[in-house]
Structure 1
Amino acid sequence: MRIVDLDGLSVHYRVDGDPDGAPVVFANSLGTDLRLWDAVLPLLPKGLKFIRYDKRGHGLTQATAQPYSMGTLVRDAEQLLDHLEVRDALFVGLSIGGMIGQGLAVKRMDQVRALVISNSAAKIGVASMWQDRIDAVNRDGIESLADAVMERWFGRAFRDTPELAAWRTMLIRQAVDGYAGCSAAISGTDFYTPTSGLRLPVLGIAGSEDGSTPPDLVRETIGLVPGSKFELIRGAGHLPCVEKPEDYARILTTFIKETGHA
């Protein structure tokens, strides 16, 4: 377990793979911790340095008082990579992690040389939807939303497996301040203009059964960046790295190799 103090915030992170390898950074979705990537990492090319972290208010990272801004979450990632002396990383962000990746790529071109925007977009949902969710969590806890979230996260086949219970448990064990705070950050984010200015290799990944960021929404954002690529994983929901880790790893491995990062 690695914990670092970043400007007063205790951040939990993990480094796997080759400590001298090219860095690949993973940022998680709303309501999950860094275990989101457990099934994918062993399937990726050897010789890479894999960095995962729990964003503010998630997993073992400190929860500060809500609400959060996307700028704060981007700065958290920036400070962690500076602490680890990471430059020229391939950044893989899923859902809110994909938003963090977009913001970091715009702000710190020295830290991000290639970007994967997975099950994410430049703008997700509308403010009223997020406010309803924030109000429900603050009033009734994350448990009150858990069943609906599972339907958005996973395709029908996965929801019939015993593994669903573990992911539901992960969700409801997140801090209320962390979940609501990050929801507020998503609500206030519109990256259409800055993301359209990116000029680096970008890969978009979507799940055909994603109820949070449907494929067309992901594709629209990926289309903002010239030369970008888009991949659809059929039969998967919002977390294809969990449902279809082999497909996810194959797509990610191809991008890693095409960008010369392996």
Structure 2
Amino acid sequence: MAMIEIAGEPFHVQIDGRDDAPPLLISNSLSSDMSMWDDQVPVWAERYRVIRYDHRGHGQSVVSPAPYSMDQLGRDAVNILDALGVRKAHWVGLSMGGMVGMWMLTHAPERIDRAVLANTAAYMGPRELWDGRIRTAERGGMEALVQATLERWFPAHFRGANPAVMDRMRAMILRTQAQGYQANCAAIRDMDQREAIKGVDRPVLVIIGSRDPATTPADGEYIASAIPGAQKAYLDAAHISNVEHPERFAALVTEFLG
């Protein structure tokens, strides 16, 4: 693990795999940190130089004043690649990480080889939903959000059968600083990439959770239809599909990236 500084702001970055392997940058969801990828990294590191980082406002990275924008989050990713001397990388992003991936594909396509956009959406209204979550975090911190978040992330049968995983996910959510959560909620609230992604010209795989109540199958289908030539794959999963189906998720990504 390492901390790198970008314009005086600290970002938490971890690299696994050979230095000479193809770079793969992976990007996490709202309310999480890089540990959400723990099940996939050992698999991918056999083939890629896996670079993961905590988003601004999450994990051990900088928690700068709110609000954030998708442009800001995307430029953070570009700056991390620059700091590591990586010209071009594959991308895997889930939920908010997929939103940042869409920004990369439309604003910095020369930095992306192939991209996986999982359990994500190009637009997530209504505004009132996000303003409500921001107010809840302001009043009660992440403790007021954690149970509802777990229920969106995982179906009831999975939660009941996997108490250790739920404990790990609960702890990860509670580690998120409320200020960082609120700032990132604003970035998602103000995002609309529905038109921009129609110009994407990189190979893209869209992974869709068939039970996802947050970024619904319709959201995933829109992305897959809007991006020319995009492939799609379904998992029988809710929102955090890489945790619910770790082996299948890893395999889908590896098969697509090659």
**Residue 239 of structure 2 aligns with which residue?**
238
Q: Aligned ranges for residues 184-203 of structure 1 at < 5 Å?
A: 184-203=186-205
Q: Which amino acid aligns with 1:117?
A: L
Partner of 1:87: 87
Do structure 1's residue 218 and structure 2's residue 226 form an aligned pair? no
Identity %: 37
Provide the secondary structure at the position in 1 that maps to 2:110: coil
Report the secondary structure of 1:55's partner residue.
Answer: coil
Greater shift in the superposed pair: 166-175 or 23-32 = 166-175
Q: Is the 8 A contact 1:151 1:211 kept in 2?
A: no
Q: Are 1:9 and 2:41 an aligned pair?
A: no
Instruction: Give the SS at the match of 2:145.
Output: helix
Alignment gaps of 5+ in structure 2: none
| Residues 127-168 of structure 1, C-alpha deviations (whole Å, 9 max, x = no match) | 110001001101111111111111110122221121212211
1:95-106 alignment runs, 5 A limit: 95-106=95-106
Task: Kindly state the Cα deviation for residue 47 of structure 1 after the two structures are TM-superposed.
Answer: 3.1
Aligned residue pairs total 256
Question: Is the Cα contact below 8 Å between 2:142 and 2:173 reproduced in 1?
Answer: yes
CA RMSD of aligned residues (A): 1.2
Distance in 1 between residues matched to 2:45 and 2:9, nearest whole Å: 32
* Partner residue in 2 for 1:171: 173
1:136 match? 136
Cα shift readout 1:38-72 (whole Å, capped 9, x = no counterpart): 10122337231100000001011011111111111
Within 1, Cα distance between the matches of 2:25 and 2:144? Answer: 32
For normalisation by structure 1, the TM-score amounts to 0.95
* TM-score, normalised relative to structure 2: 0.96
Classify the secondary structure of the residue corresponding to 1:110.
helix
Unaligned runs of 5+ in 1: 258-262
How far off its partner does 1:203 sit?
0.5
AA aligned opposite 1:241: N
d(CA) in 1 for partners of 2:32, 2:142: 12
Q: Which secondary structure does the structure 2 equivalent of 1:133 belong to?
A: helix
Q: How far, CA to CA, are the matches of 1:223 and 1:86 in structure 2?
A: 30
Cα deviation, 1:108-139, whole Å, max 9, x if unaligned, reads 12211211111001112321100010011011
What letter matches 1:114 in structure 2? Answer: R
Query: Tell me, what secondary structure is at the counterpart of 1:29?
Result: coil
